[in-house]
Amino acid sequence: MNPDYQLAYWGLYLILMTLVVQQVVASASKASQPGSVPGKIDSSLSHGSLVFRAHRTFMNSLENLPLLLGTVFLAVFVGADPLWTAILVWVFALGRLMHMLLYYAIATERNPSPRSYFFALAFIANVALLGVVGLALV
């Protein structure tokens, strides 16, 4: 383990723990529904349902995680700037955490919704980290 990236590792740990929380909330909220079938979400559900919001929060995180993990691992492998790597990992982590909390708390069909801004912040942090990796490759 490269100690220069310790702060980035802790940010990555927060991201993974957030994913665990999302999985538990999504699974528990769905399992508590009468007649729930494993692996199936009722197609009539929408943002008014915590089951729907918890499921979408978890799925959205799963959709965003591969790019981040690849970017972070590449950053460490190529020796990208450890401070910028850590800053951008933490911006991503906090953006995803706020996205999750707002998605759970606010049932809205409006787009953009407050959670959208934190989704965008995390996405921009990931793209910026790709830029930091690109600079390290040059």
> Where are the domains positioned within the chain?
3-24+47-137
What confidence tier does 109 reach under pLDDT thresholds 50, 70, 90? confident
Mean pLDDT, residues 83-95 taken together:
98
Topology (CATH level 3) of domain 3-24+47-137: Four Helix Bundle (Hemerythrin (Met), subunit A) (1.20.120)
Q: How far apart are CA 18 and CA 22, in angstroms?
A: 6
124-130-135 Cα angle (round to 5): 125
Q: How far apart are CA 50 and CA 31, in angstroms?
A: 12
pLDDT, tens digit, 9 for 90 and up, residues 16-47: 999 999 999 999 999 888 888 887 888 888 99
For the ranges 32-41, 42-51, 105-114, 121-130, the maximum mean pLDDT occurs at: 121-130
CB 50 within 8 A of CB 104: yes
pLDDT at 27: 94
For the chain, what is the mean pLDDT? 94
CB 49 within 8 A of CB 104: no
DSSP 22: H
Go through 30-44 and write b for each residue having 16 or more CB atoms within 10 A of its CB, e for each that does not.
Answer: beeeeeeeeeebeee
